[in-house]
Chains A and B, each alone.
Chain A
Amino acid sequence: MNKSVSISILLVAVVLGAMMVFQFRTTSSIDKGVSLSREQELSIERKQLERDILHLQEEVADLTAKLNEAGQGQTGTAGALESQLARLKLYAGLLPVAGPGVEVLLDNLPDRARPGGVSGFDNIRDDDLLKVINELRGVGAEAIAINGQRILSTTEIRLAGNHINVNLTKLSPPYRVSAVGNAGALKSGMEIKDGLVEYMDTLGISVKVQIKDSVQIPAYTGAVHFEYAKLAQRR
C-alpha cells in the first residue's frame, strides 16, 4: 500500500467522519424542535398574524380617533344645547337675575296729601301698574318684578277686590317694581316731564324711583304650561 493511498484514505475518513457527526448534530438539533415544513408553516402563520396585528392596530387607532371625535361632537352639542337652554330660560324669566337698575316704589299718598283731599276710594289700580311696566319696558328694562313676582310674557296684572293679582298672587300696597336695565334711562323715563310720575301724583299715588347698583329679580316660581299653543310647522 503506497503513501498516497494512505493519505487519501485518511483524508476521506476524516471528511466523512466530520460530515456525519456534523450532520448528526444538525439533525438532532432540528429534531428537538419541529419539522422543517411545520416550522415553515408556523413562520408563515406568524407573519400572517403579525400582519393582522398591524392591521388591527391601525383599525384600533382609527376607531379610537373616531370615537374621540364623536365624543367631542357629543359634548360640544350638549354644551351648546345647555347654554342655549340657559339663555332661553334667562330670556323667559325662569332664572333669577341681578344687575343695575331701578326700584319704583308706588304707594298711596296719605289722605291729607292728596290733591283735593279726597280720600277713601282706592287707590292704585292695575292699569297704573301696567303703565309703569309698559314705561319701564319702553325704555329698555330687561327683567321686571312686582313685589317679588316676576313679570313674564304670560303674566296677568288684574284688579281683584282690594288687591292686585300678579301671577295669581295677591299683592297689596306698597308696590315695589324692580327693573334691571340702564338705570339712568329707566329713571329719566319715569320722571320725564308730563310723564308717569307726574301723572300718578295727580291720582294721589306717590312714586319714588331709586337707582340701585344691584337689583335682585327672582325667577318665576310657577309652572309654565301651554295647553293650546303648539309649535307651528315650519316650512
Chain B
Amino acid sequence: MWFGFWLALIGLLAGALIGLKIPLILPPLYAKSMSVAALAALDSVFGGIRAAQENHFDNKIFLTGFFSNALLAAGLAFAGDRLGIDLYLAAVVAFGVRLFQNLAIIRRHLLKK
C-alpha cells in the first residue's frame, strides 16, 4: 500500500516537472477541454483508490477508464464549444459529483479502519 503511495507521489512529481517543461501553452480556446480532461482524470484516480480500498481494483478498467474518460470529456467539451452547447458543464457536473462521492466513500473507508 505504501509502496503504491510513494510510486504515485513520485509519478506526480515527475509529471509536474514534465508539465512545467512543456514549451507551449494551450490557446484559450482549448483550455476548457483540457480542464475538463484533467477533472475526468482526477475522478478516475479517486475511483481507482476507492476500488483499491474495496479490494476490487482492476488494472485494465483503471487504465482504460482513466484515458477514455479524459479523452471523452475533452472531446465532448470541444465539440460542445463548436456546436454552441456548453457540454463541458455537463462533464464538470457529472465528474464533480462522482469525485465528491468517491471522496466521501474513501473518507468513510479510512475512518472505518
Contact = CB atoms under 8 A, between A and B. Distances in A.
Interface in B44-72: 44-45, 48, 57, 59, 62-63, 66, 70
B59 to A, nearest CB: 5
Contact of B8 (A4, A9, A36, A39): A9
Contacts of B63: 8, 11-12
A6 to B, nearest CB: 6
Interface stretch (A15-23, A112-120, A159-167, A176-184): A15-23
Given A15-B41, A19-B37, A21-B20, A8 B59 contact: yes
30 contacts: A9-B8, A10-B7, A10-B8, A11-B11, A11-B63, A12-B44, A12-B62, A13-B7, A13-B10, A13-B11, A15-B15, A15-B66, A16-B11, A16-B38, A17-B13, A17-B15, A18-B18, A18-B19, A19-B34, A19-B70, A21-B15, A21-B16, A21-B20, A22-B19, A22-B22, A23-B26, A26-B28, A36-B31, A36-B32, A39-B28
Closest A-B pairs by Cβ, 7 of them: A17-B15, A13-B11, A21-B19, A18-B15, A17-B12, A14-B15, A18-B19
Interface of B: 1, 3-4, 7-16, 18-20, 22, 25-26, 28-29, 31-32, 34-35, 37-38, 41-42, 44-45, 48, 57, 59, 62-63, 66, 70
Interface of A: 1, 4-6, 8-27, 29-30, 36, 39
